Structure 1
Amino acid sequence: MTAPDKLPTPLLVAFATIGYLALLVAGLGVASAVVDDDIISTPGVSLVAAYLAAGVAIAAFALLLAGPVSRERPSYWAAASTALGSAGIYTIALAIAAFVSSGDLSTTGSVLREVLLGWVVPVVLGSALVAAWAGIALRRTAARPPRWPWEDDE
């Protein structure tokens, strides 16, 4: 059970999930520009597959983070499990979407090889790790809004 003066769990999860979305989009965009490569360059796979996989990963992130941050003082280790779960779900969703998009198992394997051995999954994992850590830190903090001395009820 959380303290009444702390941020409600659904709102905290929403903030962390929006942060994950922002980090994911920025991270993939910057990494793509730095390495001068597309996120998924395998021919025969539509861009919709990548969007669907990212959407599923974001939803999984929210569901995986909701449990730990509902506790009073969640462990920071939950950030690692949330990030690993989110990256794993991303990979599975991308494989399914790539197969549905291309209809070819070898193309699906090429996409998986590309994202797992390249830079895409590390960016997905790192973005989830930072956002989950921030959500857990927000739950664990004892910070309160500033108050003037005369505003104290005591």
Structure 2
Amino acid sequence: MSPSEGVAPPIAAFFATIGFSALAICGFGFTSLLTGTDVLAEPALGQGAGIAAMLLSAVVFAVTVYGAIRRARYLGAVWVMVATVAAYLLGVVLGGVLTGADPALAVGSAGDVALSWYAFVLAVTAAAAAWAGIALGRTRASRPEWPWEREDEDG
């Protein structure tokens, strides 16, 4: 790959995924602090539901943002956002059921999350990180050079 082709899609997807994960966790923390609520308010779900939800959403984000970066269309950030939020909600249900919670309780908790500020924070975070990943893949930047390293200048 020449320097003018931009950042390779796997590298851009990696950085976008790390950024998404960090921003989502930070955003959940601040949302919890500001609203005085827990991300998953039902104690019977345990920690497994939250862990499974975050892991599944990060994996789905990574896969979908890679495809969006390869297509190099900013509209792909919307699809990444939708898939990521859906994966988080599915992760709440699967994580809850796999840790022994009542399936109806797990589905109800996913519904509570879907209608909360946490879903909004997750959606905005996913869209912003996906947009940044797509922008990173589309960039034509190259490494910094000293003036004497440039081939196009006389001198």
Given the two structures, how large is their TM-score scaled by the length of structure 1? 0.89
1:135-150 to 2 correspondences below 5 Å: 135-150=133-148
Partners of 1:88 and 1:100 lie apart in 2 by 18
Question: Which AA in structure 2 matches 1:85?
Answer: A
- 1:4-47 Cα offsets, whole Å, 9 max, x none, are 22222211111110000110110000000000111111131011
> In 1, are the aligned partners of 2:90 and 2:110 still within 8 Å (CA)?
no
| 8 Å Cα contact 1:42/1:110 also seen in 2 | no
Q: Which residue of 2 aligns with 1:61?
A: 61
Deviates more, 1:50-59 or 1:107-116: 107-116
Q: How much has 1:153 moved relative to structure 2?
A: 2.5
- Select between 96-105 and 14-23 the one with higher mean Cα deviation: 96-105
Task: List gaps (5 residues or longer) in structure 2.
Answer: none
Give structure 1 regions of 4+ aligned residues with deviation exceeding 2 angstroms.
Answer: 99-103, 141-149
Give the aligned CA root-mean-square deviation in angstroms.
Answer: 1.5
Q: Which amino acid aligns with 2:79?
A: S
Segments of structure 1 that go 5 or more residues without pairing to the other structure are none
Q: Distance in 2 between matches of 1:23 and 1:43?
A: 24
Residues 103 and 45 of structure 1: is their aligned pair in 2 closer, same or farther, counting only changes over 3 Å? closer
**Identity over aligned pairs, percent:** 29
What TM-score comes out, normalization by structure 2 length? 0.89
List aligned pairs for 1:1-154, cutoff 5 A: 4-5=2-3, 6-71=6-71, 74-154=72-152
Output the amino acid matched with 1:125: A
Length, aligned pairs only = 150
